[in-house]
């Protein structure tokens, strides 16, 4: 029993403990890696799946926190997704749920940047594993199960089997990706709406729920995404530089 207790204590200390600040080159290189995963369209068609996980996870989490019943989440191979919840069709809970999707990747990135700035690299990796495991319970299609399992497995393997430098590099790349990747979907939504190809977008649903023009909701998404990127970048760069 003492050995088990000691092992648990060591594991807990490993998770909540702090790690040294990374070198300047690691912070810069991981930012470039994240950009390379977002800017080229061919690569983005694959990596956008991770943003969709965060987007739909945001809808799901806020639905639960606002008292709605979460029926399930679907992730599709075209990087779209659908979160279904039950409750009042109007009201604050529905508004918060609808607003959570496009803001979730950026806000998760900002939270991750705060953890990294505080030196909690391992806590970030394990936190991601726990969030993905919780989301897995609500996935309702095979492709969604596959993407969430693979993403969670990647975070777990990095956190458990690699050394501190690899963990730091992966964690910084992941946070940069969320911060930068949270911006591009908002631009894509704007283009789709301009072409009349997104009549049921989150911004349009929010317009019907609140009476506030969809364009203002789109502006709100931009403010959250760009604000999170600026603050998050400062948090990531300040310790290293």
What are the pLDDT tens digits along the chain (241 aa)?
Answer: 555 655 666 666 666 667 788 889 999 999 999 999 999 999 999 999 999 999 999 999 999 999 999 999 999 999 999 999 999 999 999 999 999 999 999 999 999 999 999 999 999 999 999 999 999 999 999 999 999 999 999 999 999 999 999 999 999 999 999 999 999 999 999 999 999 998 899 999 999 999 999 999 999 999 999 999 999 999 999 865 6
Contact 77, 141 (CB under 8 A): no
> Which tokens go with 91?
């009201």
> Within a domain: residue 12?
no
Tens digits of residue pLDDT in 163-203: 999 999 999 999 999 999 999 999 999 999 999 998 899 99
Contact 66, 93 (CB under 8 A): yes
> Within a domain: residue 171?
yes
> Within a domain: residue 63?
yes
Q: Which domain holds residue 64?
A: 23-240
> Which tokens go with 29?
């290189």
pLDDT at 19: 77
> Within a domain: residue 42?
yes
> Within a domain: residue 9?
no
pTM (2 d.p.): 0.93
Alpha helix segments (H runs only) across the chain: 2-16, 24-36, 41-65, 92-117, 121-136, 142-161, 164-181, 184-194, 202-210, 214-240
Number of domains in the chain: 1
């Amino acid at each position: 029993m003492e050995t088990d207790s000691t092992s648990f204590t060591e594991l807990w200390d490993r998770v909540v403990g702090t790690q040294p600040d990374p070198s300047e080159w690691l912070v810069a290189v991981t930012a470039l890696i994240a950009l390379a995963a977002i800017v080229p369209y061919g690569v983005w068609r694959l990596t956008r799946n991770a943003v969709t996980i965060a987007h739909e996870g945001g809808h799901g989490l806020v639905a639960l926190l606002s008292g709605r019943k979460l029926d399930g989440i679907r992730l599709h191979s075209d990087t779209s997704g659908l979160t279904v919840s039950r409750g009042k069709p109007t009201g604050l809970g529905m508004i918060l749920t609808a607003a959570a999707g496009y803001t979730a990747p950026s806000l998760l990135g900002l939270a991750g940047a705060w953890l990294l700035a505080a030196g909690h690299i391992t806590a970030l990796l394990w936190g991601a594993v726990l969030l993905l495991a919780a989301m897995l319970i609500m996935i309702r299609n095979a492709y969604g199960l596959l993407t969430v399992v693979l993403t969670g497995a990647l975070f777990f393997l990095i956190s458990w089997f690699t050394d501190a430098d690899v963990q730091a590099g992966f964690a910084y790349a992941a946070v940069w990706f969320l911060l930068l990747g949270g911006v591009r979907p908002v631009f894509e939504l704007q283009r789709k709406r301009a072409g009349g190809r997104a009549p049921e977008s989150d911004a349009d649903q929010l317009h019907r729920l609140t009476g506030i023009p969809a364009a203002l909701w789109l502006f709100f998404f931009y403010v959250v995404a760009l604000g999170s990127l600026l603050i998050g970048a400062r948090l990531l760069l300040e310790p290293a530089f």
